[in-house]
Amino acid sequence: MSQNIESTLVENRRFPASESFIHNAQHSPEQIQALYEQAENDYEGFWKEQAEAKIDWSKPFSSVLSTERAPHFEWFNDGEVNVSYNCIDRHLEERAHQTAIIFEGERGDTRHITYKELHDEVCRFANALKVNGIQKGDRVVIYMPMIAHAVVAMQACARIGATHSVVFGGFSAEALRDRVADAGAKMIITADGGFRGGKTVRLKDAVDAALEGNPLSVEKVVVLKRTGDDIEMKEGRDVWWDEFEAGMSNYCDPVPVEAEHPLFILYTSGSTGKPKGVQHSSAGYLLGAITTMQWVFDVNPNKDVYWCTADVGWITGHTYVAYGPLAVGATQVIYEGVPMVPDAGRFWKVCEDHKVTTFYTAPTAIRALMKAGEQFPDQYDLSALRLLGTVGEPINPEAWMWYYEKIGASKCPIVDTWWQTETGANMIAPVPQTTDCKPGSCTRPLPGIDAIIVDEEGNEITTPNQGGYLVIRKPWPSMIRTVWNDDERFQNTYYPMFDGKYYLAGDNARKDEDGYFWIMGRTDDVLNVSGHRLGTMEIESALVAHEAVAEAAVVGMPHEVKGEAVLAFVICKGDRPEGEAADALVKELREWVSQQIGPIAKPDQIRFADNLPKTRSGKIMRRLLRSIGKGEEITSDISTLENPAIVAQLQGKA
């Protein structure tokens, strides 16, 4: 699979952090350099020191890394910790009256919540959870809009050791049902709805549909009133948030849990079958969140206003909204809506209004905002900004330069952070004091992260710019512990090769002459649509579940704003539909997929065919379908296909 990237534009521009950035940073370049060196020379000692310094332990640990259950690695496993205590209580002496969260709704409502107020809210909710029978280890599904209450619910679970599983509010009832069932959740925390994209999203209806006629494990549904839309409340099962926590005490003892106790499960798409429940630990995960907030984002709790635009339904919203910023005592903005409401100036207005210093978003948002034009950022005062970040997919140099010049006024480093749901925290990213940025590269592995590129046999590739598999050689504290209820799938997915020596990320990458990493895309059948991970298999299964569909193949197509768009080739049970019948079925199938998975998975294009190109062994030739989707000339030998004639039809030539 190793390949030379002749076609890739060579990007050699380097952008060092400014003198003033370095001067104001929390760590000097020498201190950062020392971290890299210590991690290199004494790996476990390095992580031990970090864990002792940055976490308040309920019971200290003596074991650092334990490999007995490898590849289920364990960190600090005889220690005990409470994550909510670390995010809230330990700041109260110094920061009780400091704003923890500046919330802004899509419709403009704002709310400032201090650390003390957050503490009280989390405690009340945690007490209500306990009173209602939720105990350490129980699973609680959170299906909420992007509002501060979602963070309160997550922190309340952490406080009593309940394992949360947040399901993105954009997922459908069907998707929610699967996740609730897989997690065996006892409770769902939701809202009547949320405001998103100028509309209301009716979350409670989806919960009702997910639970309908289904003997799931859910005993109670807690409903926050957000939109005020009419909803049904089911007697005995449903309770309003306000009633649920009414009369509860403002103090709830944080329950110490073992370091390895599952803080949360978060479902993510893989190459096959149903989404996997990625299980994270408590202490190791928390440590990853804290160290990266400090190293990559250089967050200064006394000065910065930090804003990560990710929804809590994704890992970025876990580590860089619900946990990381609080764990370091920062002030953060939480914004409910989308970037384009009421117009493409919304993000920049939020930055101006709240004097945001540190802004973290996804390339797809940057591309969309760039397309809208610089007249939007030009209207706002963005001078408080001092650091920008991106995550989710490679950022193209053009978008990088726009972000750097128009948003950052050519004075803010851009931290391009490569990581995954499974890695828990940033893995490859610059520490701006020591690592110059290059547009489009996530730069170098962080201290204590041993990322390399290997060939098919697991040999490290040292030739510059030669592509290969991105793997992580040594375990790291915030790594995935297992796939919920499926150890085998964990092992097969992440440690399938090289005798289980390396964690396989599922990405292709190359390293340039300076040791900078360039991510080239997934090696598996996972799409990245607007920074959201979608399995092609998931969408195919949804399509095939429709009565008219016999077979389907889904591939990604390059897309200017989304990064990748969804293209589906569909074989119908009867004749291939044409004309108006085809148009009507396209519409129906798009709606169908939206219902089965969620609007983000809706195919952008559907093409009907009599058959799919297959190898003699029956494998769908996705590579060929991708070329057809891009309208490329087919130069590969198709004569070995089972059905070479189908190619012309798929291209629209027959």
- Residues forming contacts to ligand 7RM in the complex (CB under 6 A) are 268, 315-316, 391-394, 416-421, 442, 505-507, 519, 522, 528, 533
Q: What is the DSSP string of 465-479?
A: TB-EEEEE-S--TTS
Q: Which is nearer to ligand 7RM, 252 or 412 (CB)?
A: 412
Which pair of structure tokens corresponds to residue 141? 């599904």
CB of 599 to ligand 7RM, least distance (A): 17
Helices 43-54 and 283-295 cross at an angle (nearest 10°) of 90
Pairing of strands 163-166, 139-143: parallel
Q: How far apart are CA 194 and CA 129, in angstroms?
A: 23
3 state DSSP class of 607 = strand
What are the residues whose beta carbons fall under 8 Å from the beta carbon of 279, sequence distance 6 or more? 262, 264, 265, 480, 481, 482, 483, 484
Residue 428 φ/ψ, nearest 5 degrees: -115, 115
Q: Which is nearer to ligand 7RM, 519 or 641 (CB)?
A: 519
Q: Which is nearer to ligand 7RM, 288 or 345 (CB)?
A: 288
CB of 89 to ligand 7RM, least distance (A): 28
Q: Which is nearer to ligand 7RM, 86 or 390 (CB)?
A: 390
Q: Which is nearer to ligand 7RM, 95 or 318 (CB)?
A: 318
CB of 377 to ligand 7RM, least distance (A): 22
CB of 292 to ligand 7RM, least distance (A): 12
Q: Which is nearer to ligand 7RM, 290 or 534 (CB)?
A: 534
Torsion of CA 279, 282, 283, 288, to 10 degrees: 60
Whole-number CA gyration radius for the chain: 24
Task: Report how far Cα 191 is from the mean position of its chain's Cα atoms.
Answer: 22
Q: By the 8 A CB rule, do 109 and 96 touch? A: no
Q: Which is nearer to ligand 7RM, 222 or 321 (CB)?
A: 321
Q: By the 8 A CB rule, do 189 and 155 touch? A: no
> H or E element: which one contains 100?
strand 99-104
Q: Which residues of 448-475 are buried (b: 16+ CB within 10 A; e: fewer)?
A: bbbbbbbeeeeeebeeebebbbbbbbbb
Q: How far apart are CA 359 and CA 318, in angstroms?
A: 16
The one-character DSSP state at 91 is G
Q: Which is nearer to ligand 7RM, 99 or 420 (CB)?
A: 420
CB of 295 to ligand 7RM, least distance (A): 16
CB of 195 to ligand 7RM, least distance (A): 24
Q: Which is nearer to ligand 7RM, 445 or 506 (CB)?
A: 506
Q: Which is nearer to ligand 7RM, 99 or 396 (CB)?
A: 396
Q: Which is nearer to ligand 7RM, 163 or 268 (CB)?
A: 268
CB of 499 to ligand 7RM, least distance (A): 23
CB of 441 to ligand 7RM, least distance (A): 9
CB of 457 to ligand 7RM, least distance (A): 22
Q: Which is nearer to ligand 7RM, 300 or 316 (CB)?
A: 316
Q: Which is nearer to ligand 7RM, 451 or 505 (CB)?
A: 505
> H or E element: which one contains 223?
strand 220-224
CB of 508 to ligand 7RM, least distance (A): 9
3 state DSSP class of 493 = helix
H-helix segments, 270-343: 283-295, 315-317, 324-327
Beta partners for residue 468, in sequence order: 509
CB of 54 to ligand 7RM, least distance (A): 22
3 state DSSP class of 428 = strand
Q: By the 8 A CB rule, do 258 and 307 touch? A: no
Q: What is the largest CA-CA distance in the chain?
A: 74
Q: How far apart are CA 153 and CA 224, in angstroms?
A: 11
Which pair of structure tokens corresponds to residue 498? 């090289």
CB of 310 to ligand 7RM, least distance (A): 8
CB of 365 to ligand 7RM, least distance (A): 13
One-letter amino acid of 352:
E
Listed residue (114, 113, 125, 111) closest to 91, CA to CA? 114
Q: How far apart are CA 297 and CA 47, in angstroms?
A: 19
